[in-house]
Amino acid sequence: MTLNLNNLNKSIINCNKCSRLIEFRKKILKNKRKQFKDEKYWGRPITGFGDINGKILFVGLAPAAHGGTRTGRVFTGDKSSEFLYKCLFKANISNQNTSEHVNDGLKLNNAFITAALKCVPPQDKPEKKELMNCFNFFQKEIYLLKKLKIIVALGKVAFDTCLEFYKKYYKFDKKYKFTHGKIYNLPKGVRLVGCYHPSPRNVNTGRINETKMTNLFKKIKQIN
Ligand code: SF4
């Protein structure tokens, strides 16, 4: 079967390789957040989203328990996505400044967004074997992104995970240090840039703000 985004997404959604993560998801579905208690949670692995012909790939570590795992779309329906999309919209990478649910009309321009691990792990900490299992999907997404020029890793853990991925699949052995805004070279002419995660903690402590993040997004758009 020829690989395309549709059949890749089907295999992601139906994957049940990591039993610990499946058990954890069951717990989330049993203990919904109060404000979402009447909602049906998606409760399955999360696929990537956006323009597969885009040159920019945004990568988070994993979907959020009550964000992506609830809504069924990566970076959707939580505080991190609220902040992220304000910046993506200002940089003209998204057509709207919110990402609330799968039918909200959101589109990305020249960009795709995914998580290196497609299922939410306990305490946001995947085990190595879970990452290795899921890299198989991440690798296929990268393969399908034929025009990929730049990977924006959202947070240090996502940044280190991208390096781990390139180590495994491309025998890449450079050690790069996560620094917000610094651009590094990866194999096949792809660049990697670290970007603070758009989490409430980073926003509330002032580590990141809309101007800083938007300016970085505008800068990466210029990369060819
Ligand atoms: S994390 Fe990835 S490999 Fe593991 S169950 Fe979820 S989709 Fe499958």
CATH number at residue 175: 3.40.470.10
Helix, strand, coil tally for the chain in percent (to 5): 40, 10, 45
- Residue 110 exposure: Cα atoms within 13 Å on the Cβ side: 16
Cα–ligand 1 centroid distance for 18 (angstroms): 6
Number of domains in the chain: 1
- What is the value of pTM for the model shown? 0.97
Distance 60 CA to ligand 1 centre (A): 15
Ligand 1 pocket residues where CB is under 6 Å: 12, 15-18, 21, 45, 117-119, 130, 133-134
Extended beta strands in the chain, E state: 49-50, 56-60, 111-115, 150-154, 183-185, 191-195
- And the tokens for 147? 């025009």
Identify the pLDDT of residue 53: 97
Residue of the CA atom closest to atom 2 of ligand 1 = 134
Ligand 1 atom 4 nearest Cα = 18
Q: At what angle do helices 79-90 and 210-221 cross, to 10 degrees?
A: 50
The yes-or-no verdict on residue 4 having pLDDT over 90 is yes
221 CA → ligand 1 middle, Å:
31
The whole domain housing 208 covers: 5-221
Query: Rounded distance, CA 218 to CA 214, Å?
Result: 6
- Please say if the pLDDT value at position 25 is more than 90: yes
Nearest CA to ligand 1 atom 6: 119
Please report the pLDDT score of residue 58 as a whole number: 98
Are 63 and 119 a contacting pair, CB within 8 Å?
A: yes
Distance (Å, whole) CA 57 – CA 142: 9
Q: Which of 47, 108, 44, 48 is nearest to 70 (CA)?
A: 44
Q: In what order do the strands lie in the sheet with 56-60?
A: 49-50, 111-115, 56-60, 150-154, 191-195, 183-185
Average pLDDT over residues 97-118: 98
How far is Cα 150 from Cα 147, in angstroms, rounded to an integer?
A: 9
Mean pLDDT for 188-205 is: 97
Q: Helix or strand or coil: residue 178? A: coil
Dist. CA 141 → ligand 1 center (Å): 14
